[in-house]
Amino acid sequence: MNVQMLMRAALVCLVTVLASAPGAAHHSTAMFEWGKEMTLEGVVDKYEWTQPHTFIWLNVTGKNGKAEQWAFEGMSPSWLGRRGWNSRTLKQGDALKIVYYPLRDGRKGGFYVRVILPDGRKLEAMPQRSS
């Protein structure tokens, strides 16, 4: 193999490695205040049971009395499914409390940790640390 072919092969390898780097960043949780639990009450507008993450869209009464929509990302359906959740766990109109890690930039939303239903049942949505 001559030097020119070796250089081309090295360049192709370098480009391949650099091009794959953005894909590795997809599952970053840097946008959330990880570990800083907050609680909010509202009514489910939409519950999306989608891969790779689930979403809860919640209507919350704001300080001015008007409804504000909040968006919460969650674990995957496959992960939640192994813990008793399914695509019908939450329905539009369900009232609930949501415990979440807020977005760092202050937008209305975050990553949901657990849901508390009006009857007091807690639906865990994150791995629990042992104390």
CA proximity to 113, closest of 34, 25, 44, 58: 34
pLDDT 10s digits, 44-96: 999 999 999 999 999 999 999 999 999 999 999 999 999 999 999 999 999 99
> What is the C-alpha to C-alpha distance for residues 123 and 94, in angstroms, rounded to an integer?
14
Q: Taking 50 as the threshold, does the pLDDT of residue 25 lie above it?
A: no
Task: List, in order of start, the domains of the chain with CATH numbers.
Answer: 38-124 (2.40.50.1010)
> What is the C-alpha to C-alpha distance for residues 64 and 6, in angstroms, rounded to an integer?
67
